[in-house]
Structure formats: C-alpha cells, structure tokens
Structure 1
Amino acid sequence: MAAQFGRRLCKGAATTAVAAAAVAALSASQAPGATGEDHARRATAGASAPVPDAPSDGNATGNSPYYTDLPPLNSPNPSPSPTVGTPVAQGDAEAGIPATVLDAYKKAEAELRSGKPGCNLPWQLLAAIGKVESGQARGGAVDADGTTITPILGPALDGNGFALIKDTDHGQYDGNTEYDQAVGPMQFIPSTWAWAGRDGNGDGKKDPNNVYDAALAAGHYLCRDGWDLSREDDLHSAILSYNNSQDYLNTVLSWLEYYRKGTHSVPDGSGGLPAHRSDGTPRTPSPKPSDPQKSKPGKKPSPKPGKPGGGSPSPKPPKPPVPPTTPQTPTDTVDHLQDADTATLTAMAGHDFTEQIGTRAETKADKSVAKVRIRFTISGDTDATFTGGESVATVATDAKGVALAPALQAGEKTGDFKVTATVVGRKVHGVDYTATVTERVADTLTRTSDTPLTCTPGGEFADQVKVKATYKGAVADKVAATATLIKSPLDTTENDKGPYFKDKDGKPVRTLADLRTDAKGLLTLPKLYADDTTGIFLLRITTAGGTTLTVELTVAADVTSPSPSASPSPSPSGSSSSSPSSSPSSSSSS
C-alpha cells in the first residue's frame, strides 16, 4: 500500500498508467454494447476524471499494503510485465467468490440499502475491496460463523516503509502493544475499527476478523459523509478514504468492473490467492497475534565468536546494541486540546446545525499541531448524528492544528446532548461540547381556503378547517399544534357552547391536542358540529413556538348570506346579541 502523508511505496508498485491501461484493456475486451453508465469503466479506462482529495481521517487501513493483482484480460497472450499489478490470466476461476464471504457482502449491501438507501452501495464494491485487501479472506479461509481461521494482519505501522501509527487498542485486535496493524479480511486499523466496527452476524460482538462484521463495517465506512456511490466523484472519494493511493483506486475499480460482469459462488477455502503485494513482499501467512516479533527494526545480530586456536587474535567483545530510537509523531507532541471558537450549537429537530465544532491540538507551549487525528463522539439521549448517519467521526487537524467535525444533523429527540473531542492514540483530556435540539416550530399559519365556515343550529359544518404552517418561508412539517374553541379574543379559555368536535365515542370536545402538521406543512382538523346556540364563534390554532391563527365559525338559522356585522354573538348566558366587536376576522400572529 502507498505510505501515508504522500509517500508512495515504489518497490514493485504498479504505476497509475499501468493500472489504467489494464482496466481499459479489460473493458475493451468485453462484449459490445457497453454504455457510459458505468462510472468505474469511464474513470479507469479514460482516466479523464481527476481524483478528488482523500478525506482527512487517516484512512480505514492506515494505507497498509494491499494486493495489486488485476482481473484477467480476455486476451490469449497478455503482455508480461515485471511490475506489480500485472494482469494475471487465471481464467473464470477469478470470478468465483467463497460462499460465506459472498454471503457477507450481499447481506451488508441489503442492510445498507435499508439503512442508508441514498448511498447506493453495490456488494461488488465490497467484493473488490475484499479482493484487494485480503484476497477474499485468503480464499475463504473462514469458519461457519464467518471468522477467519487464522488472523489476517498487515505489517506493523512503525514508520519503517509504512505509515507511523502507534498502538491505539493495547493489542486487543492485532496483538501488538507498540504499533497498530491492519486487521481482518477488510484490513481495518484498530483506531478506525473502534468507531466503524459493526455486528454483522448478530452475535453481539464487533469482530474485525469476522467477515460479516467487517463487510458491514466497510459498507458503513464507505457510505459516510452523505456519499452516493452511484456518482463517480463520491465513489472515488469513498475508495480513496479506504486507502489514499491512485494505484489502489484503479485496482479496486478494475475488480469492481470485473465482478459486475458476473460472479459465482465457490466453496469456502477454495478461492484463488493473490500473488503480488504493493510493497513487493511475497505472499506469506500473517502471524498470530500471540506470536513474538521475530525481528525489530534497528536490531543487529551479534557477531559470531572467533574459533579457539585459530591463530588469529581474539575478536573484540561486541558492543551492546543501541536500542532503536522510536520516531516521534505529531500526536506525541500534543499536550492538550482547545476549543477553536465553536459557536453555540442549536438546531431545530430534523434540521442541520449551522455551526460546526472546531477543536485545536496544542503543545505544552500552546503551539498548534497539524496532522493529529481527532475523534468526535456523540453521547447522550439523542438521535442526532454527523452527516452520513454516524455517531463517531475522525478528522485530522489542518496546518493550523484545527479539526472541524462533520456537520451535525438533529434528529427528532429534543434536548441537550454532548459531543466529545479526543486525540486518537494519546491520552489527554478531551473537550466536551453541548448541543441542543429544539422542537419544530412554525412562524406563519394560514387557511388554505377563504370559504366562510357556516352551519345551521344542530347541524355540521360542510367544510373542514385546513391550514398550512411555514417557517422562514419553508414548509414547517411535523410541527405540534393545538386547536381550541375559545370564548373570545381576550378570553382564550375553552368555550362550553357552540361548535364542537367529536371524540372517538361521539361525545363533544372543544380542544384537540397532540396535532401535528404533515410532510407538506398541512393540518386538517376533524369535522365540526354545532349545538343549538347561534352566533359567531372562534377557533384558535396554536403551534409550537407560539404562532396562532384564529378562525371564525358562524352558526345561524339562515346561512345563505351571513353578515358578520349583523350576526348574533353568544352571550355569557347563551342568548344571542349583536356585538360587532366580538366578530374578529381570521388572523395570524407569532
């Protein structure tokens, strides 16, 4: 895999041109009639679309090495090449995916189709990444539950030819308490698995060595940030977030294209194993987590002692080996985190927060530290998430030492919740932020019709009251409302005479609570009925936030041509009297 921070491992690595040309040949060799609908084919064969910048969260794999074998070309004599990434003509067998592994990919796709339908994740993308990362779990070497027979571990990310990522999981997943290693069939580094891990097989555990858990986690990882994988740019961004390398992107896209043309299931353990790795290392089984490291960087073997009686002077005793110096990372220099002028975090239910959380990493001397991974975690009784539906997000600090969390999205639960910023890989005090979700409100209420609402004594109103709620000119959906038949504009208590609604038992009620506008901001009240009292009556609708609308209701023996100024108004005793001042027109206030 390409090394982190822009370093590329050149040893045996295929160039972008080689990968792109190989995929172009693959596409050209297929049956005619292929259209431009396949963004993977266009991107790799034409190489016309620029590769977007990779996200700054450090990548799922820590840019660990990956397998560079490309799908077979439908050509009798593929051109040989000494570079990694050479197309290997292995025939249709390469289209076979071990049964359990294939089932894990398809189940992950089905869950994401339901949970994040806007992502449009194809299971073939998981298969392409699984092929490149682990050769489909080493050819399907998994047990009946989908857990790998032996752990699949990448090399220690010790900065020696790879990215430098010190231990973040105390060896829980990779057995290494000094440095992190990519783990499992989808090759997650422990710090990414800590927030991206999922339970894909329903056993109550999140195990990166289980192909069901790993495939579902990979699906959620690729579907974050609101990405739509049916769009070329989003697809590329998602793949590059897994491993920030142009060669990696091309290799994954080539397998995605290949698997889309057809695959079949093969028995577990019988899948083909890749032969070439991006760092040039021959394919070897990964050591078990408990295996001791056979060698450490910088440790030289002691010289062999001279043979006795050989006539040559005795060799000088060897100098004690100098222990290797552990390189210092930016993370090592962080002394504390500081809020980076985050504004008040408040949003209405169902809306986006307009302000983002900013956290700055600083040294003991209060100097900013760049390239430090900050993890933001949402906690509390809330359904708020970051963009993409996740409750945890990891972002690297920029040149000014500031990490901006993804935008927060309020759910339907109101109240306060907490977002905590911590440093990945270092124990320093975190920074807590309080965010508040308020209830949905409307600032305007209007009737959708200007038809007078009239009724004869003892009858029912022909028209139902229908109103529309808006907020700042936009539809105000799911806003709570109450409708009450009131005594007068100055006395808003419930009237005991005049029009009424009916409850489920048919009994009169003059207050309706727990109403809510629909998706279009509309609220339609139940039918209204009249008792024997005549006059002009008032119906007041109040929404969350205090916006009100007062609607006139007329009950008269002759309602063919009502005259508001001459219509009787109910008196406190129930008798009618003329009272023009008690006949307000419909109005809205906030």
Structure 2
Amino acid sequence: MAAHFGRRLRKGAATTAVAAAAVAALAASQAPGVTTEDQGRQPTGAQAAPDGIDGGSADDSATGNGGYYTDLPPLNSPTTSPSPSAGTITGITGDSEAGIPATVLDAYKKAAAELRQSKPGCNLPWQLLAAIGKVESGQARGGRVDAEGTTYSKILGPVLDGNGFAHIKDTDNGAYDGDGAYDRAVGPMQFIPSTWAWAGRDGNGDGVEDPNNVYDAALAAGHYLCRADRDLSVKSDRNAAILGYNNSQDYLNTVLSWYEYYLKHTHSIPDGTGKLPTHRSGEKPGTRPKPRTSAPATPKPGKGGSAGPSPSLPGTPKPPTTSPTPTPTDTVDHLANGGTGTLSAMAGDTFGQRIVVKALTKTGKAVAKVRVRFTISGDTDATFTGGESVATVVTDSAGNATAPALLAGEKTGDFQVRALVVGRTVTGIAFPATVAERQADTLVRTSDTALTCTPGGEFTDQVEVKATYKGAVADGVAATATLVKSADDPTENDKGPYFKDADGKTVRTLTGLKTDADGLLKLPKLYADDTTGPFLLRITAAGGATVTVELNVAAAMPPAEPSA
C-alpha cells in the first residue's frame, strides 16, 4: 500500500474520489491470523504475530496495540518549506502536513544519531520515528512540549481493560498512567508502563527516563525498533519492527505512508503549532467530536487522579458489560525451571546451554502461547544474541519458553537472568550465571630454534608461544612470563637474562600479557648480563597452562687457529 501511495505522489494525481477510495481501502484491509487470543488488539486489521521472539503481542508491544491516528498524508507531495513568517496552517496542505514541531523534530534526529553510533547496523532513519510519532500522538499533540521536551499534560491512550482494546492489568501501580486497575499507553510515543520499565531511555541527559519527554520517548522507540539485530534498511526487518510496535496491518500501512511522505520533504515549525490528526482507529463514523483548533485547556484529573486525554482525543471506553474471556496468560500460576542447569562461560564465549522455563497453572498444567520476558541484570556486559539484555519468548505447546543464546562479555563475575510472565504478576525465576576469565589448557612454543646469547649481548630471536583451549585458539588469555631460578624453584632469578621496561631498567617478570586473536603471544627482546650458563623462562597462562623455555648464555668461541 505504501508503494501504491508513492506512485500517486510521484504522478501528482490527487482527486477527492481517489483519496476517499484509498482511505476506504486501508480501513477495510483485514489481515489473517486473528484469534480469540487477539481480543483487545486493533478492532480491524489486527495481525497475530508468529510464536517466537519479539512478536509484538498486546501486552508486550510498545503500545499494547492501543488506538492510533489513522489520518493519511495528502496525495500531493510536500513542497518547499514555507517562509519563517508563515503560520501553522498555511492553506497549503502539503506544507501543513510536512511541518514537524521544532523540539519534536530535534528529538527524532538526535535519537537516530545516537542509534547510528550505538547500533550502526540498524540503519534507523529519523523519518521512521517521525512517522510513528505522527500516528501515535500527532507529534506530541502538535508539539505541545516545554523547552526540555516534556509534554505540558500527559498523553494517555485508552484504558486497556479489554473493552475494544487489549486487556492488560495494572503493572506500575499507576505511576505512569495514573490508573491502578489497568494499564494505558503513555507519552508522545505511547509506551505502556510494562514495556517502558525495560525499554525506557534517558534521551535528554537529565538522569530521568520519562515516557512523557519526547527526547526520552524517541530514543526508547529507536532502541525498541532496533531490537533483535534488525536492519531497518531491509523491508522485512522494517515491517517486523513496526508490527512489533503495534501489531496491526492497518497500522503498518499508515506508518509506512507517513514514512514515505516524510522522506520526500519535511521542515521545522514552531512548537505547539502542529496540525492535529482527527481520526483514530476503532471509531465509528460520526461518533468523534469535532477537533479543537485552540490550545487545550488544563485537563481535569482522569481515572486514578491523573490527567486524562485532551478533548481532541477519544474518550475513555465504556465499562464492559461482560467479563473478558480469560487468556492463557490469565491462567498462569507460576513459572518452573524447564531443565536449566549451571550457567557458566568464559569471557567472550557463548554459554553452553540456554535457559528454559515452563509456564504452569495452579494444578501444574502447561500453558502455551504465554509471553515470558528474560532480563539480564547485574554488573555485566553479557547479552542475548543480537546484543540485547531483554528478550521475550512465547511458550510452545509444552509450555516451554527457551531464551535466546546467552553471550558472555568481557566482564568477569556473577550476574542473573530473570524470567517473568508478561502481563501478569506471578513469581518469577532468577538464574545465576558466571563469566570466568579466558583460559588456556595448552601453551607451546612456535619455534624450536635454540635461544643463545653471549654475555652482555641480546638474544637474536624473540620468544613466541601459542595458546589453545580444548584444541581451539585461546585468544585474549592473560599470561605472565618469569625468568625462574630452576625447574623446581619458580621464584624470580636475580641474575642471567632479563627484559627491559620502558625506561630501560632490568625486568625479569612480565605481567599483563595477553594472547592475540590467533592465540599468539610474542615476548619483548631478551638481554644477557655477564653471567653465563643455562637459564629458564617460564610462561604461565590463565587456566594453568605453562611452558618452560631454555636460554643459554655462553662466551663466544675463539676463532680457530689456522692449520699448519
């Protein structure tokens, strides 16, 4: 659909009839795969994600699959920027829609710039953030933010109580959304509290992760889209990222339409002067109040004492007349260990086994199609495959959820991986894990050339050894080299061959050595004092591997006398 719109934009054919047909086509599209598990997702166009990682369920998507603006970009291409004196709504549709409030636009660009540094392989364009921001909140309600990027009042989605939207019970005690019974999406990028708890970022450097701040929200959205090692320059990855944000085919089509529109042109407009969208998903024709054109009044406290949506947003849905059908998640009583044993690995290696948990009812029955979130915590740089510290997995038909492969970082020590059920408060499981330093079980010299030197001279050849562990190259392994007194006395010798430090002083023990990527370690040059005789150099690697090299210092042989 986005490509179809692109062709019309390029051709410039923009009739009222064509526009109406396009909107109708988007609204009517219905993707396959909707089941009773999807209750509370988009009323039309909801598309069930496949079992697996980061599929975008209602209670694990960024937004909870709540409502969104369905307005489409104009059919005429955006034109050049209006003059600085131009008002918000200039009378030229292309200019009006292409304008993005200055602070909001700055937040998108800064978030994309940060992702270019931290995740260059993601290739996140700021225009994609702008498209999602347009569809989620109308660019923070037309840029109604203060100088730091915080919205003047909270932007709240509908109550996710199962009445027309997802059924997500409160996960934050109302801290973000002011609702102690059910969750609501919060802020300009519409994060639900349970997702913000692990996806939130500090985008403006004030030390706070605030979903109501457009810099924080935009950076969090960028990292959320870039999960699972995605490359957003690839169409399939980009589509998967958008569907993970809100699992609806209609939502995908709408976001892509704005994305293509913003790629053609956009410009900055003053904060607070942006044009608000007027249509939201799930609304019946004629039920929405006319949009306000003036600045909104101070909102009255909503449910739970928080500020509710502005009058220009849809009201809170009516309470359900019947209780929602229990989902598999509602039946989970606890998580059990699915057979995970001791978790340990050397720095830089993949852990030998993956974490498995089982979702069970109170009677011990396995529960399928339940999302389990695995979170790495502690002072560690260990990650899951793809470089993330959080991964969400769907339980299979046996109730098992298997976490992605766990990769050890360079930090050694203990940490934990915690497993929790998404969307339900039940006791989780913590799995202890340990990262040990890199080790070698074998050290061998790479040459068999004899190492000899005359008193007061220097050895021609440098000592080089290769480290392996279980037959594989052992890179990055710490080692020490000491000139010892004898094979039975490992203390440092006080005479014979020596190394030199940076100041040229005599050194007979070297520490802080490490093997290179090929497992090789080449020592500095060796020198000899005036003492002659055989000497020993012992190299020891982490893990206990050692090799002892013999050195000989002998006076030069006198030249042979000529024969008579």
Q: Shorter chain as normaliser: what TM range?
A: 0.7 to 0.9
Asked if 1:65 corresponds to 2:67, the answer is yes
- For 1:155-304, list aligned pairs within 5 A: 155-280=158-283, 282=288, 290-292=301-303, 297=318
Alpha-carbon distance change, 232 to 457 in structure 1, aligned in 2, over 3 angstroms: farther
Could you say what secondary structure the match of 2:492 adopts?
coil
Percent of residue pairs bearing the same amino acid type: 70
Comparing 269-278 with 52-61, greater Cα deviation is found at 52-61
Asked if 1:467 corresponds to 2:455, the answer is no
Show CA shifts across 1:337-379 (max 9, x none): 1111123311111222232212212111101223333232323
Matched residue type, 2:67: P
Alpha-carbon distance change, 554 to 148 in structure 1, aligned in 2, over 3 angstroms: same
Q: Partner residue of 2:475? A: 477
* Alpha-carbon distance, 1:100 to partner: 0.4
Q: Partner residue of 2:38? A: none
* Alpha-carbon distance, 1:519 to partner: 4.2
Could you say what secondary structure the match of 1:252 adopts?
helix
Q: Aligned equivalents of 2:477 and 2:222: distance in 1?
A: 34
Say whether the 8 Å CA contact 1:224–1:387 is kept in structure 2: no
Show CA shifts across 1:513-547 (max 9, x none): 22122345443322211012223433222211122
Could you say what secondary structure the match of 2:510 adopts?
strand
Say whether the 8 Å CA contact 1:376–1:420 is kept in structure 2: yes
* Alpha-carbon distance, 1:473 to partner: 5.6
Alpha-carbon distance change, 353 to 325 in structure 1, aligned in 2, over 3 angstroms: same
Show CA shifts across 1:118-165 (max 9, x none): 322222221121122112112211111111122212212222222221
Matched residue type, 2:302: D
* Alpha-carbon distance, 1:27 to partner: 6.0
Q: Partner residue of 2:330? A: 332
* Alpha-carbon distance, 1:480 to partner: 0.5
Q: Aligned equivalents of 1:550 and 1:206: distance in 2?
A: 55
Show CA shifts across 1:277-323 (max 9, x none): 23236476899583249876457xxxxxxxxxxxxxxxxxxxxxxx7
* Alpha-carbon distance, 1:385 to partner: 2.6
Matched residue type, 1:162: F
* Alpha-carbon distance, 1:444 to partner: 4.2
Could you say what secondary structure the match of 1:199 adopts?
coil
Comparing 276-285 with 380-389, greater Cα deviation is found at 276-285
Alpha-carbon distance change, 560 to 510 in structure 1, aligned in 2, over 3 angstroms: farther
Show CA shifts across 1:94-113 (max 9, x none): 22211101111122122222
Say whether the 8 Å CA contact 1:175–1:289 is kept in structure 2: no
Matched residue type, 1:333: T
* Alpha-carbon distance, 1:334 to partner: 1.8
Show CA shifts across 1:358-404 (max 9, x none): 22121111012233332323233322233344433343433332222
What TM-score, normalized by structure 2, do the two folds share? 0.78
* Alpha-carbon distance, 1:192 to partner: 0.5
Say which of 394, 397, 400 aligns to 2:398. 400
Say whether the 8 Å CA contact 2:144–2:151 is kept in structure 1: yes
Q: Partner residue of 1:143? A: 146
Show CA shifts across 1:439-458 (max 9, x none): 11234444455554332211
Say which of 412, 415, 419 aligns to 2:413. 415
Could you say what secondary structure the match of 2:339 adopts?
coil
Q: Partner residue of 1:495? A: 493
Show CA shifts across 1:446-502 (max 9, x none): 445555433221112233333343445654332111111234445444333321112
Q: Aligned equivalents of 1:554 and 1:90: distance in 2?
A: 88
Say whether the 8 Å CA contact 1:537–1:553 is kept in structure 2: yes
Say which of 98, 101, 106 aligns to 2:101. 98
Could you say what secondary structure the match of 1:225 adopts?
helix
Q: Aligned equivalents of 2:265 and 2:137: distance in 1?
A: 20
Show CA shifts across 1:37-90 (max 9, x none): xxxxxxxxxxxxxx99583353111111222333333479xxxxxxxxxxxx93
Asked if 1:550 corresponds to 2:551, the answer is no
Q: Partner residue of 1:435? A: 433
Alpha-carbon distance change, 160 to 346 in structure 1, aligned in 2, over 3 angstroms: same
Say whether the 8 Å CA contact 1:454–1:559 is kept in structure 2: no
* Alpha-carbon distance, 1:268 to partner: 0.8
* Alpha-carbon distance, 1:197 to partner: 0.8
Say whether the 8 Å CA contact 2:177–2:186 is kept in structure 1: yes
Asked if 1:25 corresponds to 2:23, the answer is no
Contiguous gaps of at least 5 residues in structure 1: 1-17, 31-50, 77-88, 300-322, 562-590
Could you say what secondary structure the match of 1:260 adopts?
helix
Matched residue type, 2:70: T
Say whether the 8 Å CA contact 2:478–2:541 is kept in structure 1: yes
Comparing 52-61 with 430-439, greater Cα deviation is found at 52-61
Say which of 114, 130, 135 aligns to 2:117. 114
Could you say what secondary structure the match of 1:138 adopts?
helix
Q: Aligned equivalents of 2:453 and 2:76: distance in 1?
A: 81
Say whether the 8 Å CA contact 1:164–1:329 is kept in structure 2: no
Q: Partner residue of 1:131? A: 134
Alpha-carbon distance change, 225 to 474 in structure 1, aligned in 2, over 3 angstroms: farther
Matched residue type, 1:485: L
Greater C-alpha Rg: 1
Alpha-carbon distance change, 433 to 498 in structure 1, aligned in 2, over 3 angstroms: same
Say whether the 8 Å CA contact 1:195–1:393 is kept in structure 2: no
Q: Partner residue of 1:55? A: 54
- For 1:303-452, list aligned pairs within 5 A: 324-325=322-323, 327-447=325-445, 451-452=449-450
Alpha-carbon distance change, 296 to 55 in structure 1, aligned in 2, over 3 angstroms: closer
Alpha-carbon distance change, 556 to 366 in structure 1, aligned in 2, over 3 angstroms: same
RMSD: 3.2
Alpha-carbon distance change, 444 to 354 in structure 1, aligned in 2, over 3 angstroms: same
Comparing 116-125 with 281-290, greater Cα deviation is found at 281-290
Say whether the 8 Å CA contact 1:346–1:437 is kept in structure 2: yes
Matched residue type, 1:345: L
Q: Partner residue of 2:41? A: none
Matched residue type, 1:291: G
Contiguous gaps of at least 5 residues in structure 2: 14-46, 79-91, 309-314, 560-564
Q: Partner residue of 1:41? A: none
Q: Aligned equivalents of 1:383 and 1:411: distance in 2?
A: 5
Alpha-carbon distance change, 387 to 493 in structure 1, aligned in 2, over 3 angstroms: same
Say whether the 8 Å CA contact 2:354–2:404 is kept in structure 1: yes
Comparing 358-367 with 344-353, greater Cα deviation is found at 344-353
Comparing 186-195 with 463-472, greater Cα deviation is found at 463-472
Q: Aligned equivalents of 2:260 and 2:557: distance in 1?
A: 73
Could you say what secondary structure the match of 2:229 adopts?
coil
